[in-house]
Amino acid sequence: MNAIPNNSEFYHSYMYWVRYLHQYSNYGASIIGFTLNIFLFYFLINVRNKDFAVYRRILLHTTISDVFFCPTVTLKLIEVVIFCSGYTLSKKEYTIFTFTIVGWNFIGYGLWYWAYIATTQQDYVNSRNVLDSSFFYDVDGSEMAFLTFSPLTVSGALGLGHSLLTVTIVMGVVVYTFVQIQTALKQKEAQMSKKSRILQKQLSKAMIIHAMTPAFICFLPVAILILACFFRFRLGGAGILFFFTFEYVAAINSVICFVFVTPIRMELYKLFGIKRVSSMNATTVMMTVSSNVRQPSNINMIRT
C-alpha cells in the first residue's frame, strides 16, 4: 500500500477537486433524476387524454427504466419504430424484447467480471506506476480500492468488444429510428386527426432526443474510452470527467418529456396551479389590442 500523499500536494491536485465536485454532483443527480421521474410517473398515470393513451406504455417504460437507470435505450427506440409502422407489440413480444436487452447487458457484466478477476498483481503494480498517486485517494485522503484489466487478454478484449458492439448497435438504431419515424409520419399524416398528428410529432421528437441524449453523453464517451484502451492511448485521467455527464441522463430524459409532450406539461401546470392561456383567447386579445391601436389613427385621419 502506498503512503498517503502530502496533504499540501494532494488537496491542491486536479484529481482532488474532480472527486470533490463529483461527490456532490452524484448526490444532486440522484435526487433530481429520481424526483423528476417519480413526478413524471405520476403524471403519466393521471393523464386522461384519449389520444395520449396509446403512447403511455412507451413513456412509462422510459420513466421506470430511468428510475432504476437500466440501459434499455435500444428497446425504447424499437418500440417507437414499431408503433409508427402501425404494429402494436403483444405482451409476449414486449416481454421478450425487454428480457433480450436486459440479458444482453448481463452478458456484458459477466464478460467484464471475467476481465477483472483475470487481472494479475503485476497489472495493479503497473497501474500504480503509470498514474499519479492522487488518482488512488479519496477526498478525505484515504486510499481507494480500484479495478483494472488488460485489454490485450482474451477476457479484456471480449469485455471491450461487447461494449464497443453495444455502442455501435445503439448509434445505428438511433439513426435508423430517426429515418423510419420521419418516413412513417409522412405516410400516416393524412389518416391522423389534428390532435393525434400533433401528439405523434411531440412524442417522436421526445423519443429521438431521449435516444440522442445517452448517445452523446454516455455512449460516445464510452466509445472514446474503449478505443483509447484498444490503441493504448493514455487519457491522463481525463476519462473520469465523463462520469459527470453519465449521472444526469435520467434527469434530462424527464425534462425532455415535460418540455416536448403537451399532456404531461399540462399536468405539471395543474400541479402548480398555473392556468394556461388558450390560443383562442390569445388571438382574441391580439385582435382587441390591434383594434384599439388602429382606432386613434383613424380618428386622426378624419380630423386631418
- Domain extent at residue 149: 7-278
pLDDT at 40 over 50: yes
Q: What confidence tens digit (pLDDT) does each residue in 49-90 have?
A: 766 666 676 677 667 766 665 444 444 444 444 444 455 566
Percent of the chain with pLDDT over 90: 2
Confidence of residue 6 (pLDDT cuts 50, 70, 90): low
Most confident of 76-80, 263-267, 292-296: 263-267
pLDDT at 157 over 50: yes
242 lies in some domain: yes
302 lies in some domain: no
295 lies in some domain: no
Q: What confidence tens digit (pLDDT) does each residue in 90-131 have?
A: 677 767 877 887 888 899 889 989 988 888 888 888 888 877
Q: Is 57 exposed, middle or buried (0-12, 13-18, 19+ CB in 10 A)?
A: middle
271 lies in some domain: yes
Q: What is the CATH number of the domain that holds 146?
A: 1.20.1070
Residue bearing the bigger pLDDT, 38 or 215: 38
pLDDT at 296 over 60: no
pLDDT of residue 1: 46
Confidence of residue 185 (pLDDT cuts 50, 70, 90): low
Most confident of 18-27, 106-115, 276-285: 106-115
259 lies in some domain: yes
pLDDT of residue 194: 74
Q: Are 133 and 2 in contact (CB under 8 A)?
A: yes
Q: Across residues 164-182, what is the average pLDDT?
A: 74
Q: Across residues 154-171, what is the average pLDDT?
A: 82
Q: Across residues 209-230, what is the average pLDDT?
A: 74
108 lies in some domain: yes
Q: Across residues 205-214, what is the average pLDDT?
A: 72
291 lies in some domain: no
pLDDT of residue 28: 84
Residue bearing the bigger pLDDT, 284 or 179: 179
Q: Across residues 278-304, what is the average pLDDT?
A: 39
Residue bearing the bigger pLDDT, 134 or 158: 158
Percent of the chain with pLDDT over 70: 67
Query: Where is average pLDDT lowest: 9-18, 87-96, 103-112, 285-294?
Result: 285-294
pLDDT of residue 68: 63
pLDDT at 45 over 80: yes
Q: What confidence tens digit (pLDDT) does each residue in 231-260 have?
A: 878 776 677 777 777 778 778 888 888 888
Query: Where is average pLDDT lowest: 48-57, 226-235, 268-277?
Result: 48-57
Domain count, the chain: 1
Q: Are 151 and 104 in contact (CB under 8 A)?
A: no
Our measurement of the distance from residue 89's CA atom to the centroid of its chain's CA atoms, rounded to an integer in Å, reads 24
13 lies in some domain: yes
